């Protein structure tokens, strides 16, 4: 793609991003064939550090385990294992690893003692927290009633729009018919 822009499609991908990166490794593309893009992480900007209240940020780690010497290393911008010099494209089924870590930016307190947490662990923590939240029956009834009211209002508005558009369409057809009748 020459423009360097990527767009999210509506179709089901034929292969996963992990599979794509593995193929790129085999082709000698160092696992970094696409232009650098700003990464969107699910929780950045939404959560803060529990100790110092600074924002939490995220980063990705891409690693490979050499099939020859079993050394784990970051494979981006490398073409061979740093320990045994086996070229990545010559490795027999190397293990490709991809991690997302969330951690405190330490902008509020540079000495913040909080460590990073993996994306999977953070997902589990958030899920456990959300499971503790309960909505009262009174609030649920009020919310459903309010949503029904909004739905009714939206339906009326949509019906009015359709009627208005139909009148304009019919008027256009009459004008076209009158024009055609003149000739």
Same structural domain for residues 84 and 56? Answer: yes
CA 152 to each of CA 139, 147, 158: distance values in angstroms, whole numbers, following the listed order: 20, 9, 10
| pLDDT one-digit tens code per residue, 26-50 | 776 555 555 545 567 888 888 999 9
How many C-beta neighbours within 10 Å does residue 116 have?
16
Same structural domain for residues 108 and 145? Answer: no
- Which residue is listed with tokens 């061979």? 80
Chain-centroid distance, C-alpha 43: 10
Q: How many domains does the chain contain in total?
A: 2
pTM above 0.85, yes or no: no
Same structural domain for residues 53 and 141? Answer: no
| pLDDT one-digit tens code per residue, 112-132 | 999 999 999 999 999 999 999
Same structural domain for residues 21 and 40? Answer: yes
- Contact of 6 with 15, CB cutoff 8 Å: no
- Contact of 102 with 58, CB cutoff 8 Å: yes
Cα gap 57→65, rounded to integer Å: 26
Same structural domain for residues 75 and 157? Answer: no
Residue 161 placed within a domain:
yes
Range of the domain at 140: 135-183
Element (H, E) at 145: helix 137-182
């Amino acid at each position: 793609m020459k423009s360097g822009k990527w767009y999210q499609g509506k179709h089901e991908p034929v292969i996963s991003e992990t599979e794509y990166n593995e193929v790129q490794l085999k082709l000698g593309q160092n696992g970094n064939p696409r232009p650098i893009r700003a990464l969107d992480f699910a929780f950045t900007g939404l959560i803060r550090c529990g100790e110092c209240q600074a924002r939490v940020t995220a980063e990705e780690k891409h690693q490979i385990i050499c099939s020859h010497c079993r050394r784990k290393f970051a494979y981006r911008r490398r073409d061979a294992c740093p320990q045994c010099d086996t070229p990545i494209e010559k490795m027999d089924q190397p293990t490709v690893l991809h991690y997302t870590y969330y951690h405190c930016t330490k902008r509020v307190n540079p000495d913040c003692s909080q460590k990073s947490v993996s994306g999977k662990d953070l997902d589990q923590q958030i899920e456990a927290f959300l499971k503790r939240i309960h909505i009262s029956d009174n609030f649920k009834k009020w919310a459903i009633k309010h949503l029904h009211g909004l739905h009714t209002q939206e339906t009326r508005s949509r019906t009015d729009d359709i009627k208005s558009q139909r009148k304009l369409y019919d008027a256009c057809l009459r004008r076209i018919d009158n024009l055609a009748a003149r000739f």
